Structure 1
Amino acid sequence: MDSWGAVVGLGLLAAAVSVIAFVRYRERETTILQRDVALARELRDLAGGDDIRVAAVDEFELAIYQRLFYASVVAPRIRSAAWALLGAVLAVAAALATGPGDGLLYSVVHIVAVIVAVGFGVAAVAFAALAVFHTATTPRVSFADSYANSAESE
């Protein structure tokens, strides 16, 4: 019994489910950040004039801003790269499935699948490169300088 078709089908299904789960997990991060921003506002109101509580809220906000950088700049490109990679994998599977067929329809579908696979592959590499570029070049939010200045003034 030839089970390669079933194994490939299960592999493609697993890849699709994995990409969908990854993208959904990363989209939830935006919701969590919005909730944390609202919490930081409430905590700042509750802190009033207490310097220690305000400092704690500042630290919490710094952590939010650092996560917000990732969620707003890098994560969309990583999600796009994941979708493009899934598209490339599915197009390669279609190209491999239609390769051995005879006839004009098989040839046309095979050529289109190869073109689509190349397009999605290039898109996946481009989005991954953009994510790495933004990770390496976009400045992070840091209050280290302001902390150093306030320590020197005391």
Structure 2
Amino acid sequence: FTAPLTAPLPAPRPEDPHAVISAAVRAGRHAEADGIAARYEAEAVRGYGAASEQALHWSEVRADLAMFAGDPVGSCRAWLTVAETRLSAGQAVDAPAVEAAVDRAHHQWTRIKDTARARELGPALAELRLRVPGRRRGALENVQRQLGRLQAAQ
């Protein structure tokens, strides 16, 4: 009698990093969540390049994580970087991912309470809005108006 051959068990699949990140966020462990996403982002940059969809996905995750952590400055900066990276890679100004990144940067910018930080990021956002007006009418004018108020209050 011959014992039946058994195939080796497949290697366990790593847990979905998004689920791990979400659990960390729900538990208030924002730095841990960002650290996990940062590792995946760095790996994607090494493997595919900074302008790859793989790397940009993790950059976008990190931008959202900053928002969840209550850091509109960090989130705005991250979304500005995502938008600039997409544009530098040749994506069109009306590409949905480009528009979404600029819209999210704009939204986070409006959440910044520190006027010095808002003044610091405003010109970059205004410059992006010149190139990527988005679908909402008046977005560029909104940035310019708010930036003017911030600069006048200086």
- The TM tier, using the shorter chain, reads under 0.3
Q: Which has the higher contact order (CA 8 A, sep 6+)?
A: 1
**TM-score, length of structure 2 as denominator length:** 0.27
| The structure with more radius of gyration | 1
